[in-house]
Chain A
């Protein structure tokens, strides 16, 4: 029996808890069994049918499933009107780019195209034994219902999911699997169904990210994203600010570029969907969601939001203090009010509600995290200020009481959860990149385990929202580009948190179960007594390419945990920036690699029994004096920035290794912080992104 800080998001999919995965030593379901359950056994496989297959969603999902189902010999049936413009052929080049011509041809050879008239199904379809219909036809309720009817009459046992972005399952009479753009590669699906189904579990088993959301008009993603479009339009109405510039201010405050995104997706379709979503929401919730006249005009015209290329903007817009206040009141006020509605209606697990914004709509921090960061009172003040400008929206869909929950564990632990069985704890991180929120939540998770007297811990991704651990969230470094002290503080505080994994537990195991673990996340894992990874995981330190200097102790910690003969490998990893497979890193960077089940079992064993399984690598706390002066096997480059960054990182390694372990904490943080103000960092990825985001 285990205890957790909060419910794991896996449980919302009917897949148990994270600690269950470790105790059982295997994932809750695997692709083979789920394919069998959905499509039947290999001897009698049924087919996947995607209707509206020439549309943006249909064609994209056809490719995504094609890649995953090709090895299972599942026919991929694409069905659409005879006169629908071909949306499938255009996908081929993307497949070739990603997988090579051979595999692309194999995938496309599994696609069977049918035309139909919308009223009756092609007679040959029966021979393909359809098991799962993914409906991606236009957003017109009656047409969708009629569509399901003909499929159900022809194939009574068929599972149907609609990709609708707006209609509730209760209106459609089928479950919903609403995917996020771009459809070929985005793995996220908003799922609406009474109980977690085999379809949903299959999506998870195939490496996609289903997220359970409530059965309401428009789901979480569309409320947030369409809501942000509307918020921008409302500010546009009072300010005249052109949309290209609004995008920049919205990006600075929250992260997304909603107007650019509409143009990229295809303004004609995206404008309609956004309008439709808001229109239906306004029918249910009132003026908060009422589309503006401009939005309606854009829906009718299908016009882009950005000026045409030959009319690139000439006049820049800056905002004075009063204008900024007005922008905040309108844009943030609307978003906070809409979030209050989502929370009030319990539209999803808080972590999911928060992550949908980050993972599907470019929010730097999900709305729940954002509200938490400014505090309940400030959030309510923003909404109330907005209501002064638009009194008509104050009477409905505003639930300030939900902010009473802001101190709850669910709201405080959006990214990091902890579970334990009385002996071993599991800390799971539900975010691909490390930021200050994760850092704070990780500290609270450690505190929670310590309070329960847990001395053995596994640190892992959450097997759901963080399918990979990509490193530090570089947005966090923006303030450090102009202020070395801020850079120092980030490196110092994050390192201090990471050190707790080493110093406050008897056994700690970093578990890398996703596709990759890079940069700051690898540094974090490296602080554990043991690191266990699945053998195909990519491990790397790409900091040199940004460039930044690793600030969570990668410049000395792994050197202290391995023998001299491995230092060249560590230096090459740090100075090259390219990743290596986990199986190559065993024994000097990590302690064990194996397949998923082997790795899970080993992680549990190490956490439970420590050195009984593998001899722990000892940490040398004294200075390392005999570090080499050169690196072998490093490819030459004429790139001045890379060469300068390599030298800076090498110097950082030498300096932080030359002092004792305690002194190294401060020293490496200072080196990392100082480098962020260098011309290399300022002109590099972080400086450029910082400039692009903050200098509006």
Chain B
């Protein structure tokens, strides 16, 4: 493994302290009934308990979410109090880049020396989108209502286009063939179910029982509800909504939370279930491309990051992406000249959904777990966001300082 100096040399992610809820598809679970901020806070307390981390070890909390939730004004300290240990913190929001951006923010907190153990807690509920009412002087209605999830998906105010249309535009630019996209999607489902059946996902995902107002069982979040086996034939038979885009080759809205810790080197050894495993953040980059070309943005971010670090794509042991459209991965393979079969080995948002805030957090955890199972290496995490933004980060997983 090439040695690259880390941008946050003092920050570490303690192995085995992370966890995520399953991501049930929107409206398919008890999560559509709850305050997701409270749920995430309580779930974090439970996950830390299972990971043998006392919540009192945390001294700062970075939360990340994109869909407004009740009492969000009170931000991280409120969510922390739901966790059981009220601490200071702040809120990060950058559309689908939120999860990774939150991890980066936590690393910066540790690097600054201001905090020793920073919790990263990302969550979103896309079910039953809140509706905001905004005074708009320039609209003839004077007052406009916005259904936060679907209205934003359908309309980028900067371009006037829908999120979905960016995929079609990018697919046409790169001359992506629908047959390849269908095969790619089919492969991604196979990867997910293989990881699920092998028990790999159990290292990351934690079943959680949700209670109703009377304290009785409301539901158990113990599967990525809505994800089902899919055949290549059925993918091929689906109607194209835009170039290469069908209901099968794009992600779906879902609900969930994901949490991990960022801390100092010494504290990571104390908190980790396997102190000999060292996980650090090597480098990160964020770029934007032309308006409406969102699916190419991750590839461009990775390209830039490799240039910055001097690493080659072949130096990367694990590549995982947030890919709301299958064309993202097809474009990535074309731009980076690599084989899309060899990435997203344990599943990806294309398959298990798109709750936005926690999406890249879960992607990161799965990527780090995969690297640990491989004996270490560089982990490239990347994804797109907000119409034309790409984000990428490289983590290094090593064992015993190797």
Contact = CB atoms under 8 A, between A and B. Distances in A.
Contacts of B261: none
B276 interface: no
B55 A311 contact: no
- Kindly name the residue among B34, B39, B82 whose own CB sees the greatest number of chain A CB atoms within 10 A: B82
A302 to B, nearest CB: 15
Nearest to B220: A316
- Kindly name the residue among A236, A238, A239, A316 whose own CB sees the greatest number of chain B CB atoms within 10 A: A316
Contacts of A236: 84
Nearest 7 pairs of A and B residues by beta carbon: A315-B42, A316-B209, A240-B49, A240-B45, A240-B55, A314-B39, A239-B49
B210 interface: yes
Given A242-B45, A311-B82, A312-B215, A318 B56 contact: no
Contacts of B239: none
Contacts of A294: 56
A318 B209 contact: yes
14 contacts: A237-B54, A240-B46, A240-B53, A240-B54, A240-B55, A240-B84, A242-B42, A311-B38, A311-B82, A312-B215, A315-B39, A315-B209, A316-B209, A316-B211
Interface in B259-299: none
B210 A314 contact: yes
Given A242-B45, A315-B42, 19 more contacts: A237-B54, A240-B49, A240-B54, A240-B55, A240-B84, A241-B49, A242-B42, A311-B82, A312-B213, A312-B215, A313-B211, A313-B215, A314-B211, A315-B45, A316-B208, A316-B209, A316-B210, A317-B46, A318-B209
B43 A315 contact: yes
A293 interface: yes
A318 B220 CA distance: 13
A239 B55 CA distance: 8
Interface in A250-298: 293-294
Given A311-B82, A313-B215, A238 B54 contact: yes
A312 B42 CA distance: 11
Interface in B66-105: 82-85
- Kindly name the residue among B39, B83, B209 whose own CB sees the greatest number of chain A CB atoms within 10 A: B209
Interface residues of A, number: 17
A98 to B, nearest CB: 31
B56 A313 contact: no
A242 B84 contact: yes
Contacts of A317: 46, 49
Contacts of B34: 314
B215 A315 contact: no
B217 interface: yes
A238 B48 CA distance: 10
A315 B46 contact: yes
A214 B35 CA distance: 51
Contact of A313 (B42, B83, B217): B42
A311 B209 CA distance: 16
A627 B48 CA distance: 66
Given A238-B54, A242-B84, A314 B42 contact: yes
Contacts of A238: 54
Nearest to B86: A297
Given A240-B45, A240-B46, A242-B84, A314 B38 contact: yes
Nearest to B36: A314
Nearest to A301: B86
Nearest to A236: B84
Given A314-B210, A315-B211, A237 B84 contact: no
Contacts of B211: 312-316
Contacts of B45: 240, 242, 315
